[in-house]
A and B are shown apart, each in its own frame.
Chain A
Amino acid sequence: MTAIRATNLSKRYGKTMAVTDLSFDVDPGRVTGFLGPNGAGKSTTMRMVLGLDHPSGGSVLVDGKPYQELRHPLRKVGALLDAKAVHGGRSARNHLLAIAQSNGIPAARVEEVLELVGLGNVAGRRVGGFSLGMSQRLGIAAALLGDPEILLFDEPVNGLDPDGILWIRTLMRGLAAEGRTVFVSSHLMSEMSQTADHLIVIGKGRLIADTSVPEFIGRSSQGYVLVRSPRLAEVAELVKVGELHTDHLRVTGVSPLEIGTMTARAGLPLEELTFVKPSLEAAYMELTKDSLEYTS
Protein backbone atom coordinates (compact mmCIF):
# COMPACT_ATOMS: atom_id res chain seq x y z
CA MET A 1 0.00 0.00 0.00
CA THR A 2 1.18 3.48 -0.75
CA ALA A 3 2.27 5.34 2.38
CA ILE A 4 1.22 8.86 1.49
CA ARG A 5 -1.36 9.70 -1.13
CA ALA A 6 -2.21 13.26 -2.09
CA THR A 7 -5.23 13.76 -4.31
CA ASN A 8 -5.90 17.10 -5.96
CA LEU A 9 -4.43 18.81 -2.95
CA SER A 10 -4.72 22.60 -2.88
CA LYS A 11 -3.91 25.28 -0.32
CA ARG A 12 -4.70 28.95 -0.47
CA TYR A 13 -3.40 31.56 1.98
CA GLY A 14 -5.40 34.70 1.33
CA LYS A 15 -4.53 35.57 -2.25
CA THR A 16 -1.57 33.20 -2.51
CA MET A 17 -2.13 29.75 -3.97
CA ALA A 18 0.65 27.87 -2.17
CA VAL A 19 -0.35 24.47 -3.59
CA THR A 20 -2.56 23.81 -6.60
CA ASP A 21 -4.22 20.55 -7.55
CA LEU A 22 -1.31 18.39 -6.46
CA SER A 23 -1.58 14.60 -6.73
CA PHE A 24 1.17 12.12 -5.95
CA ASP A 25 1.96 8.90 -4.11
CA VAL A 26 4.91 8.23 -1.85
CA ASP A 27 5.87 4.57 -1.60
CA PRO A 28 7.76 2.55 0.99
CA GLY A 29 11.27 1.20 0.63
CA ARG A 30 12.82 4.17 -1.06
CA VAL A 31 13.80 7.76 -0.53
CA THR A 32 11.42 10.07 -2.33
CA GLY A 33 12.85 13.52 -2.91
CA PHE A 34 10.40 16.39 -2.83
CA LEU A 35 12.01 19.05 -4.89
CA GLY A 36 11.16 22.59 -5.81
CA PRO A 37 12.56 26.11 -5.72
CA ASN A 38 11.97 28.37 -2.68
CA GLY A 39 8.30 29.06 -2.15
CA ALA A 40 7.22 26.14 -4.33
CA GLY A 41 4.92 24.79 -1.61
CA LYS A 42 6.97 21.92 -0.18
CA SER A 43 6.60 22.86 3.48
CA THR A 44 2.93 23.66 2.99
CA THR A 45 2.33 20.23 1.47
CA MET A 46 4.14 18.53 4.35
CA ARG A 47 2.07 20.45 6.90
CA MET A 48 -1.08 19.26 5.17
CA VAL A 49 0.17 15.65 5.20
CA LEU A 50 0.60 15.99 8.98
CA GLY A 51 -2.83 17.52 9.56
CA LEU A 52 -1.35 20.84 10.69
CA ASP A 53 -2.76 22.96 7.87
CA HIS A 54 -6.21 22.28 6.48
CA PRO A 55 -6.29 21.77 2.69
CA SER A 56 -8.42 24.29 0.76
CA GLY A 57 -9.22 21.47 -1.64
CA GLY A 58 -8.47 17.80 -2.21
CA SER A 59 -7.15 15.44 0.41
CA VAL A 60 -4.10 13.66 1.65
CA LEU A 61 -4.05 10.25 3.30
CA VAL A 62 -1.35 8.64 5.38
CA ASP A 63 -1.47 4.87 5.34
CA GLY A 64 -4.99 5.16 3.94
CA LYS A 65 -6.33 7.54 6.60
CA PRO A 66 -6.38 11.25 7.28
CA TYR A 67 -3.55 11.98 9.74
CA GLN A 68 -6.01 13.11 12.43
CA GLU A 69 -7.52 9.65 12.55
CA LEU A 70 -4.29 7.86 13.40
CA ARG A 71 -4.21 6.57 16.95
CA HIS A 72 -0.71 7.13 18.33
CA PRO A 73 0.37 8.80 15.08
CA LEU A 74 4.05 8.95 16.08
CA ARG A 75 4.26 5.18 15.99
CA LYS A 76 3.31 5.36 12.34
CA VAL A 77 4.74 8.69 11.18
CA GLY A 78 7.79 10.67 12.27
CA ALA A 79 8.54 14.13 10.98
CA LEU A 80 11.12 16.87 11.21
CA LEU A 81 9.72 20.18 10.01
CA ASP A 82 11.60 22.98 11.75
CA ALA A 83 14.41 21.95 14.07
CA LYS A 84 14.37 25.26 15.95
CA ALA A 85 10.66 25.00 16.79
CA VAL A 86 11.17 23.75 20.36
CA HIS A 87 10.70 25.32 23.79
CA GLY A 88 14.23 26.49 24.54
CA GLY A 89 13.81 26.18 28.30
CA ARG A 90 13.31 22.44 28.36
CA SER A 91 16.08 19.86 28.43
CA ALA A 92 16.49 17.58 25.44
CA ARG A 93 15.43 14.63 27.56
CA ASN A 94 12.24 16.26 28.87
CA HIS A 95 11.40 17.56 25.40
CA LEU A 96 11.52 14.01 24.02
CA LEU A 97 9.87 12.53 27.11
CA ALA A 98 6.79 14.72 26.72
CA ILE A 99 6.50 13.68 23.08
CA ALA A 100 7.00 10.00 23.93
CA GLN A 101 4.40 9.99 26.70
CA SER A 102 1.75 11.51 24.46
CA ASN A 103 1.95 8.42 22.25
CA GLY A 104 2.45 5.80 24.94
CA ILE A 105 6.10 5.29 23.98
CA PRO A 106 8.21 3.96 26.88
CA ALA A 107 10.67 6.40 28.48
CA ALA A 108 13.55 4.02 27.75
CA ARG A 109 13.12 4.77 24.07
CA VAL A 110 14.01 8.41 24.78
CA GLU A 111 17.48 7.35 25.94
CA GLU A 112 17.80 5.07 22.93
CA VAL A 113 17.13 7.78 20.35
CA LEU A 114 19.31 10.27 22.23
CA GLU A 115 22.21 7.82 21.87
CA LEU A 116 21.28 7.06 18.29
CA VAL A 117 21.59 10.71 17.20
CA GLY A 118 24.64 11.33 19.38
CA LEU A 119 23.05 13.63 21.95
CA GLY A 120 23.41 11.22 24.88
CA ASN A 121 25.89 13.39 26.75
CA VAL A 122 23.91 16.64 26.41
CA ALA A 123 20.49 15.14 27.22
CA GLY A 124 20.12 17.22 30.37
CA ARG A 125 21.00 20.53 28.73
CA ARG A 126 18.43 23.17 27.80
CA VAL A 127 17.74 22.92 24.09
CA GLY A 128 17.71 26.72 23.72
CA GLY A 129 21.50 26.60 23.80
CA PHE A 130 21.82 23.95 21.08
CA SER A 131 23.59 24.70 17.81
CA LEU A 132 21.65 24.23 14.59
CA GLY A 133 23.33 20.88 14.04
CA MET A 134 22.37 19.68 17.52
CA SER A 135 18.82 20.96 17.09
CA GLN A 136 18.61 19.10 13.80
CA ARG A 137 19.72 15.91 15.54
CA LEU A 138 17.17 16.48 18.31
CA GLY A 139 14.46 16.91 15.68
CA ILE A 140 15.50 13.65 14.08
CA ALA A 141 15.50 11.95 17.47
CA ALA A 142 11.89 13.11 17.91
CA ALA A 143 10.98 11.80 14.47
CA LEU A 144 12.48 8.40 15.27
CA LEU A 145 10.91 8.08 18.75
CA GLY A 146 7.96 5.95 17.73
CA ASP A 147 10.02 3.75 15.36
CA PRO A 148 7.72 4.88 12.53
CA GLU A 149 7.31 3.32 9.09
CA ILE A 150 6.88 6.69 7.45
CA LEU A 151 9.31 9.57 7.80
CA LEU A 152 9.07 13.14 6.58
CA PHE A 153 11.99 15.54 6.62
CA ASP A 154 11.68 19.16 5.52
CA GLU A 155 15.06 20.43 4.32
CA PRO A 156 16.95 18.38 6.90
CA VAL A 157 20.42 19.40 5.76
CA ASN A 158 19.85 23.16 5.80
CA GLY A 159 22.69 24.77 7.70
CA LEU A 160 24.58 21.56 8.40
CA ASP A 161 28.30 21.02 7.94
CA PRO A 162 29.54 18.26 5.57
CA ASP A 163 29.74 15.73 8.41
CA GLY A 164 26.14 16.43 9.40
CA ILE A 165 24.99 16.23 5.81
CA LEU A 166 26.68 12.88 5.31
CA TRP A 167 25.19 11.60 8.55
CA ILE A 168 21.64 12.53 7.55
CA ARG A 169 22.09 11.16 4.06
CA THR A 170 23.32 7.84 5.41
CA LEU A 171 20.52 7.74 7.94
CA MET A 172 17.83 8.33 5.30
CA ARG A 173 19.28 5.72 2.96
CA GLY A 174 19.40 3.27 5.88
CA LEU A 175 15.78 3.93 6.84
CA ALA A 176 14.63 3.35 3.27
CA ALA A 177 16.70 0.18 3.04
CA GLU A 178 14.80 -1.13 6.08
CA GLY A 179 11.65 -0.80 4.01
CA ARG A 180 10.45 2.47 5.46
CA THR A 181 8.99 5.35 3.53
CA VAL A 182 11.26 8.39 3.45
CA PHE A 183 9.88 11.64 2.05
CA VAL A 184 12.43 14.42 2.09
CA SER A 185 12.22 17.93 0.71
CA SER A 186 14.99 20.08 -0.67
CA HIS A 187 15.43 22.99 -3.01
CA LEU A 188 18.81 21.66 -4.10
CA MET A 189 18.95 19.11 -6.87
CA SER A 190 22.57 18.31 -6.08
CA GLU A 191 21.52 17.17 -2.63
CA MET A 192 18.68 15.01 -3.88
CA SER A 193 20.75 13.41 -6.62
CA GLN A 194 22.86 11.80 -3.92
CA THR A 195 20.03 10.60 -1.73
CA ALA A 196 16.78 10.06 -3.59
CA ASP A 197 15.56 7.12 -5.63
CA HIS A 198 12.45 8.85 -6.77
CA LEU A 199 11.61 12.50 -7.34
CA ILE A 200 8.48 14.55 -7.00
CA VAL A 201 9.22 17.98 -8.42
CA ILE A 202 6.92 20.94 -7.89
CA GLY A 203 7.05 24.55 -8.93
CA LYS A 204 4.64 27.32 -7.92
CA GLY A 205 2.57 24.72 -6.11
CA ARG A 206 2.02 22.53 -9.15
CA LEU A 207 3.41 19.12 -10.03
CA ILE A 208 6.20 19.30 -12.60
CA ALA A 209 7.53 15.75 -12.51
CA ASP A 210 6.98 12.49 -10.64
CA THR A 211 9.67 10.10 -11.84
CA SER A 212 12.71 8.02 -11.01
CA VAL A 213 16.01 9.87 -11.02
CA PRO A 214 17.36 8.44 -14.34
CA GLU A 215 14.03 9.02 -16.05
CA PHE A 216 14.04 12.59 -14.81
CA ILE A 217 17.40 13.25 -16.45
CA GLY A 218 16.36 11.56 -19.67
CA ARG A 219 13.06 13.36 -19.90
CA SER A 220 14.15 16.90 -19.52
CA SER A 221 17.24 17.09 -21.71
CA GLN A 222 18.97 14.56 -23.88
CA GLY A 223 22.61 15.41 -23.51
CA TYR A 224 24.75 16.10 -26.56
CA VAL A 225 27.79 14.92 -28.48
CA LEU A 226 30.84 17.12 -28.42
CA VAL A 227 32.94 16.97 -31.57
CA ARG A 228 36.35 18.51 -32.19
CA SER A 229 38.22 18.27 -35.44
CA PRO A 230 40.92 20.17 -37.32
CA ARG A 231 38.38 20.27 -40.20
CA LEU A 232 35.43 21.28 -38.03
CA ALA A 233 33.52 23.22 -40.69
CA GLU A 234 33.43 20.21 -42.98
CA VAL A 235 32.30 17.96 -40.16
CA ALA A 236 29.51 20.41 -39.36
CA GLU A 237 28.38 20.41 -42.96
CA LEU A 238 28.36 16.63 -43.01
CA VAL A 239 26.41 16.12 -39.77
CA LYS A 240 24.00 19.00 -40.57
CA VAL A 241 22.15 19.10 -37.19
CA GLY A 242 25.10 20.39 -35.16
CA GLU A 243 25.49 23.69 -33.44
CA LEU A 244 28.85 25.14 -34.51
CA HIS A 245 31.00 26.88 -31.93
CA THR A 246 34.48 28.36 -32.51
CA ASP A 247 36.41 25.30 -31.45
CA HIS A 248 33.80 22.55 -31.24
CA LEU A 249 30.56 21.24 -32.57
CA ARG A 250 27.61 20.37 -30.33
CA VAL A 251 25.26 17.74 -31.73
CA THR A 252 21.97 16.64 -30.26
CA GLY A 253 19.88 13.73 -31.46
CA VAL A 254 22.68 11.84 -33.24
CA SER A 255 24.73 9.21 -31.47
CA PRO A 256 28.55 9.29 -31.31
CA LEU A 257 28.64 6.04 -33.28
CA GLU A 258 26.64 7.58 -36.14
CA ILE A 259 28.84 10.67 -36.22
CA GLY A 260 32.00 8.56 -36.08
CA THR A 261 30.77 6.38 -38.96
CA MET A 262 29.86 9.39 -41.09
CA THR A 263 33.18 11.16 -40.57
CA ALA A 264 35.15 7.96 -41.12
CA ARG A 265 33.40 7.38 -44.46
CA ALA A 266 34.11 10.98 -45.46
CA GLY A 267 37.71 10.61 -44.35
CA LEU A 268 37.51 13.50 -41.89
CA PRO A 269 39.88 13.34 -38.88
CA LEU A 270 38.47 13.66 -35.38
CA GLU A 271 40.21 15.10 -32.39
CA GLU A 272 37.44 14.40 -29.87
CA LEU A 273 34.10 12.66 -29.89
CA THR A 274 32.42 12.69 -26.48
CA PHE A 275 28.90 12.08 -25.30
CA VAL A 276 28.16 14.69 -22.62
CA LYS A 277 25.57 13.46 -20.13
CA PRO A 278 23.18 16.07 -18.86
CA SER A 279 23.57 16.72 -15.13
CA LEU A 280 20.66 16.33 -12.80
CA GLU A 281 21.19 19.92 -11.81
CA ALA A 282 20.87 21.08 -15.42
CA ALA A 283 17.76 18.97 -15.91
CA TYR A 284 16.23 20.47 -12.79
CA MET A 285 17.06 24.03 -13.75
CA GLU A 286 15.53 23.48 -17.14
CA LEU A 287 12.31 22.05 -15.70
CA THR A 288 11.80 24.65 -13.04
CA LYS A 289 12.98 27.75 -14.88
CA ASP A 290 9.39 28.71 -15.72
CA SER A 291 8.21 28.33 -12.16
CA LEU A 292 10.76 30.26 -10.15
CA GLU A 293 9.01 32.32 -7.53
CA TYR A 294 11.88 34.70 -7.05
CA THR A 295 14.32 35.22 -9.86
CA SER A 296 17.52 37.06 -9.20
Chain B
Amino acid sequence: MTDVLRSEWTKIRSVRSTLWTLATTVVLMLGVSALLSASVRSTADGPVPGEQAVIVSLQGASLAALAMAALGVLVISSEYRTGAIRTSLMAVPRRMSLLTGKIVVFTAVSLVVCLLASAGAIGVGLAIFQPASVEAGEVVRSALGSSLYLTACGLFGLGLGTLIRHTPGAIVSAIALILVLPPLTTQLPGEWGRTVSEHFTTNAGALIVSGQSTGSLGPWSGFAVYLVWVAAAMLAGAVLMRRRDA
Protein backbone atom coordinates (compact mmCIF):
# COMPACT_ATOMS: atom_id res chain seq x y z
CA MET B 1 0.00 0.00 0.00
CA THR B 2 2.88 2.43 0.69
CA ASP B 3 3.89 1.95 -2.97
CA VAL B 4 0.48 3.14 -4.09
CA LEU B 5 0.58 6.09 -1.67
CA ARG B 6 3.96 7.24 -2.96
CA SER B 7 2.77 6.95 -6.52
CA GLU B 8 -0.41 8.92 -5.83
CA TRP B 9 1.59 11.57 -4.02
CA THR B 10 3.81 11.96 -7.08
CA LYS B 11 0.73 12.23 -9.28
CA ILE B 12 -1.07 14.84 -7.20
CA ARG B 13 1.98 17.04 -6.72
CA SER B 14 3.01 16.96 -10.39
CA VAL B 15 0.01 18.57 -12.06
CA ARG B 16 -0.90 22.23 -12.17
CA SER B 17 -4.58 21.71 -11.37
CA THR B 18 -3.55 20.75 -7.83
CA LEU B 19 -1.64 23.97 -7.40
CA TRP B 20 -4.48 26.05 -8.85
CA THR B 21 -7.29 24.56 -6.81
CA LEU B 22 -5.29 24.71 -3.57
CA ALA B 23 -4.21 28.28 -4.27
CA THR B 24 -7.85 29.20 -4.96
CA THR B 25 -8.85 27.65 -1.65
CA VAL B 26 -6.26 29.67 0.27
CA VAL B 27 -7.10 32.91 -1.55
CA LEU B 28 -10.84 32.46 -0.97
CA MET B 29 -10.40 31.67 2.71
CA LEU B 30 -8.13 34.65 3.35
CA GLY B 31 -9.84 37.04 0.95
CA VAL B 32 -13.39 36.43 2.11
CA SER B 33 -12.25 36.69 5.72
CA ALA B 34 -10.61 40.06 5.08
CA LEU B 35 -13.50 41.53 3.10
CA LEU B 36 -16.28 40.26 5.32
CA SER B 37 -14.53 41.07 8.59
CA ALA B 38 -13.88 44.62 7.45
CA SER B 39 -17.46 45.14 6.35
CA VAL B 40 -19.00 43.57 9.47
CA ARG B 41 -16.72 45.60 11.68
CA SER B 42 -17.63 48.88 10.02
CA THR B 43 -21.38 48.22 10.30
CA ALA B 44 -21.35 46.74 13.82
CA ASP B 45 -22.69 48.92 16.63
CA GLY B 46 -20.13 47.97 19.22
CA PRO B 47 -17.16 45.65 19.60
CA VAL B 48 -17.70 42.21 18.04
CA PRO B 49 -17.21 39.31 20.48
CA GLY B 50 -14.36 36.88 19.73
CA GLU B 51 -16.65 33.95 19.02
CA GLN B 52 -18.55 35.98 16.42
CA ALA B 53 -15.31 37.19 14.84
CA VAL B 54 -14.12 33.61 14.32
CA ILE B 55 -17.40 32.65 12.63
CA VAL B 56 -17.26 35.61 10.26
CA SER B 57 -13.62 34.95 9.36
CA LEU B 58 -14.43 31.38 8.19
CA GLN B 59 -17.26 32.36 5.81
CA GLY B 60 -14.98 31.72 2.84
CA ALA B 61 -15.34 28.00 3.47
CA SER B 62 -18.63 27.82 1.57
CA LEU B 63 -16.91 28.90 -1.67
CA ALA B 64 -13.55 27.27 -0.97
CA ALA B 65 -15.51 24.02 -0.64
CA LEU B 66 -16.05 24.13 -4.40
CA ALA B 67 -12.36 24.50 -5.15
CA MET B 68 -11.61 21.50 -2.94
CA ALA B 69 -14.44 19.52 -4.52
CA ALA B 70 -13.01 20.35 -7.96
CA LEU B 71 -9.62 19.01 -6.89
CA GLY B 72 -11.28 15.89 -5.53
CA VAL B 73 -13.10 15.35 -8.83
CA LEU B 74 -9.94 15.91 -10.89
CA VAL B 75 -7.87 13.44 -8.85
CA ILE B 76 -9.77 10.66 -10.59
CA SER B 77 -11.73 12.14 -13.51
CA SER B 78 -8.60 13.52 -15.19
CA GLU B 79 -7.36 9.94 -15.42
CA TYR B 80 -10.57 8.85 -17.09
CA ARG B 81 -10.54 11.82 -19.45
CA THR B 82 -7.00 11.17 -20.67
CA GLY B 83 -7.18 7.38 -20.55
CA ALA B 84 -4.34 7.36 -18.03
CA ILE B 85 -6.60 5.32 -15.73
CA ARG B 86 -5.63 2.28 -17.80
CA THR B 87 -1.97 2.82 -17.06
CA SER B 88 -2.81 3.26 -13.38
CA LEU B 89 -4.86 0.06 -13.29
CA MET B 90 -2.20 -1.90 -15.13
CA ALA B 91 0.20 -0.84 -12.38
CA VAL B 92 -2.31 -1.35 -9.56
CA PRO B 93 -4.89 -3.84 -10.81
CA ARG B 94 -6.66 -4.06 -7.45
CA ARG B 95 -8.98 -1.19 -8.06
CA MET B 96 -9.87 -0.63 -4.42
CA SER B 97 -6.18 -0.22 -3.60
CA LEU B 98 -5.89 2.47 -6.24
CA LEU B 99 -8.99 4.27 -4.98
CA THR B 100 -7.86 3.97 -1.37
CA GLY B 101 -4.49 5.42 -2.32
CA LYS B 102 -6.19 8.42 -3.91
CA ILE B 103 -8.46 8.92 -0.88
CA VAL B 104 -5.62 8.78 1.64
CA VAL B 105 -3.28 11.09 -0.27
CA PHE B 106 -6.02 13.59 -1.06
CA THR B 107 -7.18 13.62 2.56
CA ALA B 108 -3.67 14.23 3.87
CA VAL B 109 -2.91 17.03 1.41
CA SER B 110 -6.29 18.62 1.97
CA LEU B 111 -6.16 18.53 5.78
CA VAL B 112 -2.75 20.19 5.86
CA VAL B 113 -3.53 22.92 3.33
CA CYS B 114 -7.03 23.61 4.63
CA LEU B 115 -5.86 23.76 8.24
CA LEU B 116 -3.27 26.36 7.29
CA ALA B 117 -5.80 28.29 5.19
CA SER B 118 -8.40 28.20 7.98
CA ALA B 119 -5.92 29.27 10.64
CA GLY B 120 -4.80 32.07 8.33
CA ALA B 121 -8.38 33.18 7.76
CA ILE B 122 -9.05 33.30 11.50
CA GLY B 123 -5.81 35.23 11.98
CA VAL B 124 -6.88 37.78 9.37
CA GLY B 125 -10.33 38.09 10.94
CA LEU B 126 -9.00 38.54 14.46
CA ALA B 127 -6.48 41.11 13.28
CA ILE B 128 -9.32 43.13 11.77
CA PHE B 129 -11.85 42.74 14.60
CA GLN B 130 -9.36 43.07 17.46
CA PRO B 131 -11.84 41.45 19.90
CA ALA B 132 -11.31 41.99 23.62
CA SER B 133 -10.85 38.28 24.23
CA VAL B 134 -11.01 35.06 22.28
CA GLU B 135 -10.89 31.52 23.57
CA ALA B 136 -7.92 29.58 22.21
CA GLY B 137 -9.96 26.36 22.35
CA GLU B 138 -12.60 27.97 20.18
CA VAL B 139 -10.03 29.03 17.59
CA VAL B 140 -8.51 25.55 17.39
CA ARG B 141 -11.92 23.86 17.17
CA SER B 142 -13.03 26.21 14.40
CA ALA B 143 -9.86 25.86 12.34
CA LEU B 144 -10.02 22.08 12.70
CA GLY B 145 -13.75 22.05 11.92
CA SER B 146 -13.26 24.17 8.83
CA SER B 147 -10.46 21.99 7.47
CA LEU B 148 -12.46 18.83 8.15
CA TYR B 149 -15.42 20.35 6.34
CA LEU B 150 -13.35 21.40 3.31
CA THR B 151 -11.70 17.98 3.17
CA ALA B 152 -15.08 16.25 3.32
CA CYS B 153 -16.23 18.43 0.41
CA GLY B 154 -13.14 17.36 -1.54
CA LEU B 155 -13.88 13.70 -0.80
CA PHE B 156 -17.46 14.29 -1.93
CA GLY B 157 -15.96 15.47 -5.22
CA LEU B 158 -13.66 12.44 -5.38
CA GLY B 159 -16.61 10.13 -4.82
CA LEU B 160 -18.70 11.87 -7.48
CA GLY B 161 -15.73 11.83 -9.87
CA THR B 162 -15.35 8.07 -9.38
CA LEU B 163 -19.06 7.57 -9.91
CA ILE B 164 -19.51 9.86 -12.92
CA ARG B 165 -15.96 9.70 -14.43
CA HIS B 166 -16.71 12.73 -16.60
CA THR B 167 -15.09 15.93 -15.27
CA PRO B 168 -17.76 18.54 -16.13
CA GLY B 169 -20.58 16.21 -15.08
CA ALA B 170 -18.95 15.49 -11.74
CA ILE B 171 -18.13 19.14 -11.06
CA VAL B 172 -21.67 20.26 -11.87
CA SER B 173 -23.04 17.56 -9.55
CA ALA B 174 -20.67 18.66 -6.81
CA ILE B 175 -21.70 22.31 -7.14
CA ALA B 176 -25.37 21.30 -7.05
CA LEU B 177 -24.99 19.10 -3.98
CA ILE B 178 -22.64 21.39 -2.06
CA LEU B 179 -23.81 24.86 -2.92
CA VAL B 180 -27.03 25.11 -4.92
CA LEU B 181 -29.44 22.51 -3.57
CA PRO B 182 -28.85 22.87 0.21
CA PRO B 183 -30.44 26.35 0.52
CA LEU B 184 -33.30 25.31 -1.79
CA THR B 185 -34.26 22.43 0.50
CA THR B 186 -35.35 24.93 3.15
CA GLN B 187 -38.38 25.54 0.91
CA LEU B 188 -39.59 21.97 1.43
CA PRO B 189 -42.92 22.03 3.25
CA GLY B 190 -43.84 20.57 6.63
CA GLU B 191 -42.07 18.72 9.40
CA TRP B 192 -40.74 16.14 6.97
CA GLY B 193 -39.34 18.86 4.72
CA ARG B 194 -37.54 20.45 7.62
CA THR B 195 -35.92 17.15 8.61
CA VAL B 196 -34.76 16.55 5.04
CA SER B 197 -33.38 20.07 4.80
CA GLU B 198 -31.52 19.79 8.10
CA HIS B 199 -29.87 16.56 7.04
CA PHE B 200 -29.17 17.66 3.48
CA THR B 201 -25.42 17.57 2.65
CA THR B 202 -23.74 20.83 3.65
CA ASN B 203 -26.73 22.07 5.68
CA ALA B 204 -25.63 19.42 8.16
CA GLY B 205 -21.91 19.43 7.29
CA ALA B 206 -21.24 23.14 7.67
CA LEU B 207 -22.35 23.16 11.34
CA ILE B 208 -18.85 22.03 12.25
CA VAL B 209 -17.41 25.23 10.79
CA SER B 210 -19.58 27.59 12.80
CA GLY B 211 -19.90 25.33 15.84
CA GLN B 212 -23.64 26.06 15.93
CA SER B 213 -26.62 23.72 16.16
CA THR B 214 -29.84 23.53 14.17
CA GLY B 215 -32.85 21.59 15.41
CA SER B 216 -31.68 18.09 16.19
CA LEU B 217 -28.11 18.40 14.86
CA GLY B 218 -25.01 19.78 16.57
CA PRO B 219 -21.60 20.43 14.98
CA TRP B 220 -20.31 16.86 15.24
CA SER B 221 -23.56 15.02 14.60
CA GLY B 222 -24.13 17.32 11.62
CA PHE B 223 -20.68 16.52 10.28
CA ALA B 224 -21.34 12.81 10.78
CA VAL B 225 -24.50 13.12 8.68
CA TYR B 226 -22.49 14.87 5.96
CA LEU B 227 -19.90 12.08 6.05
CA VAL B 228 -22.71 9.62 5.36
CA TRP B 229 -23.48 11.53 2.15
CA VAL B 230 -19.81 11.53 1.19
CA ALA B 231 -19.49 7.83 1.98
CA ALA B 232 -22.58 7.02 -0.07
CA ALA B 233 -21.13 8.76 -3.14
CA MET B 234 -17.75 7.11 -2.60
CA LEU B 235 -19.27 3.68 -2.10
CA ALA B 236 -21.43 3.95 -5.21
CA GLY B 237 -18.34 5.06 -7.14
CA ALA B 238 -16.26 2.21 -5.71
CA VAL B 239 -18.85 -0.44 -6.59
CA LEU B 240 -19.07 0.82 -10.17
CA MET B 241 -15.30 1.15 -10.44
CA ARG B 242 -14.91 -2.51 -9.55
CA ARG B 243 -17.60 -3.63 -11.91
CA ARG B 244 -17.10 -1.45 -14.97
CA ASP B 245 -14.54 -1.86 -17.72
CA ALA B 246 -11.75 0.67 -17.38
Is the beta-carbon distance between B86 and A94 smaller than 8 angstroms?
A: no
Question: With contacts A101-B10, A102-B4, A102-B7 known, is A86 near B246, CB below 8 A?
Answer: no
Question: With contacts A51-B89, A73-B91, A79-B90 known, is A90 near B15, CB below 8 A?
Answer: yes
A293 within 8 A of B: no
Question: With contacts A90-B14, A103-B3 known, is A70 near B93, CB below 8 A?
Answer: yes
B245 closest partner in A (C-beta): A53
Find residues 69-88 in chain A having any chain B CB closer than 8 Å to their own CB: 70, 73-74, 77, 79, 81-82, 84-88
> In whole angstroms, how far apart are the Cα atoms of A77 and B7 in the complex?
18
> In whole angstroms, how far apart are the Cα atoms of A97 and B13 in the complex?
12
> Which residues of B have CB within 8 Å of A98?
7-8, 10-11, 14
Is the beta-carbon distance between B246 and A87 smaller than 8 angstroms?
A: no
> Which residues of B have CB within 8 Å of A74?
90-91
Mask for B1-21, Cβ within 8 A of A = 1, else 0?
001101110110011110000
Number of chain B residues whose Cβ lies closer than 8 Å to a Cβ of chain A? 28
A104 within 8 A of B: yes
Is the beta-carbon distance between B7 and A99 smaller than 8 angstroms?
A: yes
A167 to chain B, nearest CB (A): 22
Is the beta-carbon distance between B94 and A99 smaller than 8 angstroms?
A: no
> In whole angstroms, how far apart are the Cα atoms of A142 and B10 in the complex?
16
B95 closest partner in A (C-beta): A68
Is the beta-carbon distance between B84 and A52 smaller than 8 angstroms?
A: no
> Which residues of A have CB within 8 Å of B6?
101-102
Which of A54, A86, A94, A102 has a CB less than 8 Å from the CB of B3? A102
Interface segment, B75-83, B172-180, B185-193, B205-213? B75-83
Is the beta-carbon distance between B91 and A89 smaller than 8 angstroms?
A: no
A202 within 8 A of B: no
Question: With contacts A86-B82, A102-B92, A104-B3 known, is A142 near B14, CB below 8 A?
Answer: no
Question: With contacts A53-B246, A54-B245 known, is A73 near B83, CB below 8 A?
Answer: no
B118 to chain A, nearest CB (A): 28
Is the beta-carbon distance between A89 and B17 smaller than 8 angstroms?
A: yes
B87 within 8 A of A: yes
Which of B16, B17, B89 has a CB less than 8 Å from the CB of A52? B89
Is the beta-carbon distance between B90 and A82 smaller than 8 angstroms?
A: no
A50 within 8 A of B: yes
> Which residues of A have CB within 8 Å of B91?
73-74, 99, 102-103
Mask for B81-124, Cβ within 8 A of A = 1, else 0?
01110111111111000000000000000000000000000000
Question: With contacts A53-B245, A79-B90, A82-B83 known, is A87 near B10, CB below 8 A?
Answer: no
> Which residues of A have CB within 8 Å of B8?
98
> Which residues of B have CB within 8 Å of A79?
90
> In whole angstroms, how far apart are the Cα atoms of A198 and B118 in the complex?
63
Is the beta-carbon distance between A85 and B84 smaller than 8 angstroms?
A: yes
Interface of B is mostly: helix
> In whole angstroms, how far apart are the Cα atoms of A110 and B11 in the complex?
15
B93 to chain A, nearest CB (A): 4
> Which residues of B have CB within 8 Å of A84?
83
Is the beta-carbon distance between B84 and A86 smaller than 8 angstroms?
A: yes
Which of A52, A90, A102, A103 has a CB less than 8 Å from the CB of B246? A52
Mask for A252-279, Cβ within 8 A of B = 1, else 0?
0000000000000000000000000000
> In whole angstroms, how far apart are the Cα atoms of A40 and B78 in the complex?
29
> In whole angstroms, how far apart are the Cα atoms of A73 and B93 in the complex?
8
Question: With contacts A53-B245, A86-B82 known, is A101 near B90, CB below 8 A?
Answer: no
> In whole angstroms, how far apart are the Cα atoms of A188 and B16 in the complex?
40
Which of A54, A87, A102 has a CB less than 8 Å from the CB of B15? A87
A130 within 8 A of B: no
> Which residues of B have CB within 8 Å of A8?
none
> Which residues of B have CB within 8 Å of A91?
14
A103 to chain B, nearest CB (A): 6
Question: With contacts A73-B93, A90-B15 known, is A142 near B87, CB below 8 A?
Answer: yes
> In whole angstroms, how far apart are the Cα atoms of A47 and B243 in the complex?
15
Is the beta-carbon distance between B3 and A85 smaller than 8 angstroms?
A: no
> In whole angstroms, how far apart are the Cα atoms of A87 and B88 in the complex?
11
B238 to chain A, nearest CB (A): 16
> Which residues of A have CB within 8 Å of B245?
47, 52-54
Residues of chain A whose beta carbon lies under 8 Å from any beta carbon of chain B? 47, 50-54, 67-68, 70, 73-74, 77, 79, 81-82, 84-91, 94-95, 97-99, 101-104, 142
Q: Identify 6 new A-B residue pairs, CB closer than 8 A, beyond the known A85-B84, A99-B7, A102-B88.
A: A52-B90, A73-B91, A90-B15, A94-B10, A97-B10, A98-B10
Closest 9 CB pairs of A and B: A85-B83, A102-B7, A94-B14, A53-B245, A101-B7, A98-B10, A102-B91, A101-B6, A52-B246
16 A-B pairs with CB atoms under 8 Å apart are A52-B86, A68-B93, A70-B93, A73-B90, A74-B90, A79-B90, A85-B86, A85-B87, A86-B84, A87-B78, A87-B84, A88-B82, A94-B10, A95-B14, A98-B14, A102-B7
